[in-house]
């Protein structure tokens, strides 16, 4: 039951912030053409909407008011598991296989949308091995340079025999 409530709360908060971010990002970065990104990212919105439910946020802990897909599915699985004499999880999951399949389809839709959005951003801000490791290369080069300077300083200031 608590897995469903926590999952639904997280998805609901993520949906609300994600939707706002998609709307605001082009305004924050007007010098970039984010239309491909926005289009790809927006494909996740119907899936997140289907999985979210504001009652989880409005009535936290009030199980009589909770009615979202995630919370009711996991609550039902928990009830089925607790009420069965055998405690058979497989049977409890089978009872809710349709709901779990719906959740799976929506989660895959979100993942596909995010992958497409990431690929759209990669065309704007390409990334390669050199760019990923550039900070480490700069730090390494600075450390080598500093070491060389210290060695030369020590050699010049050491009295010879």
4-50 pLDDT, tens digit each: 888 888 999 999 999 999 999 888 888 888 899 999 999 999 999 99
Residues 36 and 83 in one domain: yes
Residues 104 and 147 in one domain: no
Are 74 and 145 in a shared domain? no
pLDDT digit string, tens, across residues 107-154: 999 999 999 999 998 888 766 666 667 788 889 999 999 999 999 888
Residue 91 pLDDT more than 80?
Answer: yes
Does one domain contain both 6 and 83?
A: yes
Determine the structural domain holding residue 118 and report its residue range: 2-126
The verdict on 112 and 142 lying in the same domain is: no
Instruction: Encode 24-52: b = buried (16+ Cβ within 10 Å), e = exposed.
Output: eeeeeeeeeebeebeebbeebbebbebbb
- If asked whether residues 105 and 138 sit together in one domain, one would say no
93 and 63 assigned to the same domain: yes
Are residues 116 and 143 located together in one domain of the fold? no
Residues 69 and 112 placed together within one structural domain of the fold = yes
Residue 51 has pLDDT above 80, yes or no: yes
For the full predicted model, state whether its pTM sits above 0.95.
no
Q: What are phi and psi of 44, to 5 degrees?
A: -80, -20
């Amino acid at each position: 039951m608590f897995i469903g409530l926590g999952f639904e709360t997280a998805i609901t908060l993520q949906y609300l912030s994600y939707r706002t971010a998609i709307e605001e990002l082009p305004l924050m970065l007007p010098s970039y053409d984010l239309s491909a990104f926005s289009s790809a990212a927006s494909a996740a919105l119907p899936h997140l909407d289907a999985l979210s439910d504001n009652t989880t946020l409005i009535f936290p802990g009030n199980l009589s008011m909770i009615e979202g897909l995630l919370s009711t599915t996991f609550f039902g699985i928990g009830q089925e598991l607790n009420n069965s004499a055998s405690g058979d999880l497989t049977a409890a999951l089978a009872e809710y296989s349709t709901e779990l399949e719906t959740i799976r389809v929506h989660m895959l839709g979100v993942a596909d949308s995010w992958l497409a959005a990431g690929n759209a951003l990669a065309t704007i801000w390409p990334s390669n091995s050199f760019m990923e490791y550039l900070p480490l290369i700069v730090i390494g080069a600075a450390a080598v340079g500093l070491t060389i300077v210290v060695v030369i300083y020590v050699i010049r200031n050491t009295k010879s025999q």
